């Protein structure tokens, strides 16, 4: 009896120690990932800032696509909403970085809530249809509405000022933005991991895999979908917020399907519901575009083609393909 207790104790101790090591290893990996681009600088650093931003953008869609199993085509709108809110509040109201961040999150969440409410009772493709329509219409509005800068967009976004009290911090170039982008990425990863362990995350997967069973277990599937959508939008919106500062310009080109196809590809190419999937997926895509580009039109064909090939032939993504190959080899 006491022997069994002692071994239990030892096991708990071992798992505590393992968790400690894991945390340490993660911290070391994070530090290396942060310092690498910072030391290399130049093109690599710029690419990494954009990579972090686009990965965060993709994580917003990841929650809806991988966990909820719905296709939202409105995440470009949330992205653009974050960027427009940030740039407008910064240029016209002179708000600082923290305030514009709140504005960006709120703008994305509000639009998501609106879309979620009108599609609350709709099933299957009608949700996707409405989100796609919303993206097209939002682009048309951004092109035409003077308040949003029309087709010229909003220029002259000031450097990102994240000062807190006496601590001064302003980021005006990629080197200075890198810590912010990296922190945003870490925060997003933490949020996604937490979401997957949360009650809402469990309900989302339940509603996805067996909506009937979920309904019979007393889960309001429509409400879960609304909640996940409204949670996911600010994630993508936050990416838009930082993108506004990184580009110093915001325009209707943010509604391009490029961003949508990029997000979708990033989410599915590595494998769904993998914490680092969208990050690695975004890295693959941006790596190709920045360092192995064949010109914009061919890149579009490559990106769209990758999306088609993965979904049609390797539904488990590259990880699924790797596992299948290994299973055959053994």
Partner 1 sequence: MNLLQQIVNGVILGHAYALIAIGWTVLLGVARLVNFGHGQMYMLGAFVTWWAFARLGLPYPAAILVAIGGGIAVGLAVQAVMMRLTLEQNLVSIMIITLGFGHVLRGAAALVFGAQPQVLETPPSLIDLEIAGAWVTAQDLLIVAVAIVVFALLRLVVEGGRVGRTARMVAEDPKLAELAGIDVRRVYLGVFAFEGAAVALAAALVAPRTPILTAIGFEEVIVTFVVVVLGGIGSVTGSYLAGLGLGLFNALFGGFVSPAYTTAASFAVLTAVLVLRPGGLATRGGGR
Which residues, 211 to 270, sit near partner 1 by CB under 8 A? 257-258, 260-261, 264-265, 268
Between residues 44 and 261, which has the closer beta carbon with respect to partner 1? Answer: 261
Encoding tokens for residue 131? 């989100």
CA distance 253 to 250: 8
For partner 1, the binding residue among 1, 2, 5, 124 (CB under 8 A) is: 124
Nearer to partner 1 by C-beta: 36 or 315?
315
Instruction: Assess 184 for contact with partner 1 (CB under 8 A).
Output: no
Interacting positions 144-163 with partner 1 (CB under 8 A): 144
52: nearest Cα among 69, 33, 68: 33
Do 289 and 282 meet the contact criterion of CB atoms below 8 Å apart? no
Residue 250's DSSP bridge partners are: 154
Judged by beta carbon, residue 216 or residue 312, the one nearer partner 1 is: 312
Q: Which of 28, 133, 193, 325 binds partner 1 (CB under 8 A)?
A: 133
Candidates 292, 295, 265, 294; CA nearest to 280 is: 265
Task: Report in angstroms how near the CB of residue 35 gets to partner 1 at its nearest.
Answer: 36
Which lies closer to partner 1 via its Cβ, residue 29 or residue 298?
298
Neighbours of 295 (CB within 10 A): 7
Distance (Å) of CA 113 to CA 68, 127, 275, 312: 16, 13, 25, 32
Measured from the CB of residue 271, what is the shortest distance to partner 1 in angstroms?
14
Distance in angstroms (rounded) separating the CA atoms of residues 164 and 173: 20
Q: Which of 20, 194, 315, 323 binds partner 1 (CB under 8 A)?
A: 315
With binding defined as CB under 8 A, does residue 321 bind partner 1? no
305 binding partner 1? (CB under 8 A): yes
- Identify the DSSP state of 95: -
Closest CA to 277 of 189, 190, 202: 189
Binding region for partner 1 (CB under 8 A): 65, 69-71, 73, 118-119, 121-122, 124-126, 128-130, 132-134, 136-137, 139-141, 143-144, 257-258, 260-261, 264-265, 268, 296-301, 303-305, 307-308, 311-312, 315
């Amino acid at each position: 009896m006491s022997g069994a207790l002692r071994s239990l104790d030892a096991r708990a101790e071992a798992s505590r120690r393992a968790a400690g090591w894991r945390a340490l290893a993660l911290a070391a990996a994070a530090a290396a990932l942060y310092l690498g681009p910072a030391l290399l600088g130049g093109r690599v650093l710029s690419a990494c800032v954009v990579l972090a931003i686009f990965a965060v953008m993709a994580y917003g869609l990841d929650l809806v696509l991988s966990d909820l199993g719905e296709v939202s085509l409105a995440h470009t709108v949330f992205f653009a909403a974050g960027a427009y809110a940030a740039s407008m509040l910064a240029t016209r109201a002179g708000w600082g970085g923290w305030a514009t961040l709140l504005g960006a999150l709120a703008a994305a969440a509000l639009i998501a809530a609106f879309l979620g409410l009108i599609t609350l009772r709709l099933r299957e493709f009608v949700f996707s249809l409405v989100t796609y329509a919303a993206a097209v219409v939002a682009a048309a509005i951004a092109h035409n509405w003077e308040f949003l800068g029309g087709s010229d967009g909003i220029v002259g976004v000031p450097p990102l000022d994240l000062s807190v009290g006496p601590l001064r911090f302003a980021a005006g170039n990629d080197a200075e933005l890198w810590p912010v982008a990296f922190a945003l990425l870490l925060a997003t990863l933490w949020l996604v991991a937490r979401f997957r362990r949360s009650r809402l995350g469990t309900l989302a997967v339940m509603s996805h895999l067996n909506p009937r069973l979920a309904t019979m277990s007393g889960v309001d599937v429509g409400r879960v979908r609304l909640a996940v959508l409204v949670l996911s939008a600010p994630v993508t919106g936050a990416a838009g917020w930082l993108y506004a500062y990184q580009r110093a310009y915001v325009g209707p080109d943010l509604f391009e399907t490029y961003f949508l196809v990029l997000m979708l590809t990033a989410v599915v190419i590595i494998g769904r519901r993998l914490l680092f999937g969208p990050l690695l997926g975004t890295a693959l895509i941006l790596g190709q575009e920045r360092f192995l580009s064949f010109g914009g039109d061919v890149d579009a064909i490559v990106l769209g083609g990758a999306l088609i090939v993965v979904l049609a032939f390797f539904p488990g993504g590259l990880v699924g393909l790797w596992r299948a190959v290994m299973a055959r080899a053994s």
